[in-house]
Amino acid sequence: MKRILLLHTGGTISMSTDQRTGAVKPSQEHPLHQYSHLFEENLEIIEEDIFQLPSPHVTPHDMLILQKRLIQAAEEDIYDGAVITHGTDTLEETAYFLDLTLDTPFPVVLTGAMRPVDELGSDGVRNLQNAIWTSLSLEARDKGVLVVLNEEIHTARYVTKTHTTNVATFRTPTFGPIGIVSKHEVRFFQKLIFNETYQIDRADKNVCMLKAYAGMDSTLFDALLSTDLDGLVIEALGAGNLPPAALPGLKKILEKNIPVVITSRAFNGIAQDIYAYTGGGKHLKELGVIFAPGLSGPKARIKLVILLEQSFDNEQIDLIFQK
Ligand code: ASP
């Protein structure tokens, strides 16, 4: 008999449609409770409604509560896998938080749904089934935290939501899914070449994120200076460049020794210090920014929140982001 821990956190996968208004909202009883016993013979599913949050309400503090429950599950030593249902809006951030802070002996798989359970063509039950099968797969071990939706298996580190409503929304832009769930078969094709985990007791650091744009100046940087800022992530232009008018504000933040991490606002590819013009990546690097090659802005933000809790200095943070 295998045993899975199934943690529900909320999101569309746990909502239903108000037949009168058409609005999608949280249900009294989790709509998946009635399905989970159907998925597999000889499988015990221990189900907990740990939160009932739409995922835009989820904070790093909630992620930490989830992480602690999974650490406890590892200590209990009775589970073959863990599946977490989550709203899709911030699923990628919770998944990466767990990826960076967990080293469980069993696979941890996140899933969600783009359509509530009572909508025609709903994807939630199938996604849950595929996530459970993936979590039971021996091959899923040692692959870090995984995200399973729409029959694809993605790594927490690189997956991102790419469409507001389409069920084929979760993608890994640079290299695609690492596996698929085809009917009952879970099959992997690739794996990441390294994993990293950090111990964490708090997740309170104030890390903000800005998106660069043509004509960006120092207004937003200056506004951030009056806050309790611990770190900043910028989704810069192209390979990692900023407009010259943004530099005076950026420099003031760097002078305060606040780590500033550069990613790209481009959907695909990695941020690098390539250009030597004013505000180009090489110039930004000379000023003291940290490049986060391969990570999206939200992922770099989660990583910076976690690294700042380790009390690393900026040089150490830089080295870790280069790995
Ligand atoms: N807004 C919803 C949420 O993230 C979307 C979803 O779950 O698909 O909670």
Ligand 1 atom at shortest distance from the alpha carbon of 57: 9
Active site (annotated) includes residue 12: yes
| Ligand 1 atom, smallest distance to 15 CA | 7
193 DSSP 8-state letter? S
Atom of ligand 1 nearest to the CA of 89: 4
pLDDT value of position 147? 98
Give dist(CA 24, CA 31) in Å, integer.
Answer: 13
**What's the pLDDT score for residue 18?**
79
Question: To which H or E segment does residue 207 belong?
Answer: strand 207-211
Is 253 touching ligand 1 by the criterion CB < 6 Å? no
**Best probe residue, ligand 1, of 88, 94, 150 (max atoms within 8 Å of C-beta):** 88
- Which pLDDT value is given to residue 31? 74
Separation between Cα atoms, residue 40 and residue 45, nearest integer Å: 10
What three-state secondary structure class fits 2?
strand
174-180's contacts with Cβ under 8 Å and 24+ in sequence apart are 174/268, 174/269, 174/270, 174/294, 177/152, 177/153, 178/143, 178/146, 178/153, 178/154, 179/134, 179/139, 179/152, 179/153, 180/151, 180/152, 180/153
For residue 52, the model assigns a pLDDT of: 93
CA dist 261 → 92, 278, 319 (Å): 19, 18, 12
Q: What is the pLDDT of residue 37?
A: 65
Low-confidence ranges of the chain (pLDDT < 50): none
* 164 Cα: distance to centroid of ligand 1 (angstroms): 10
Measured from the CB, is residue 89 less than 6 Å from ligand 1? yes
Tell me the pLDDT tens digit for each residue of 242-283. Answer: 999 999 999 999 999 999 999 999 999 999 999 999 999 999
Dist CA 184 CA 88 (whole Å): 24
> Residue 175: what pLDDT?
96
Strand 260-264 and strand 231-236: the pairing is: parallel
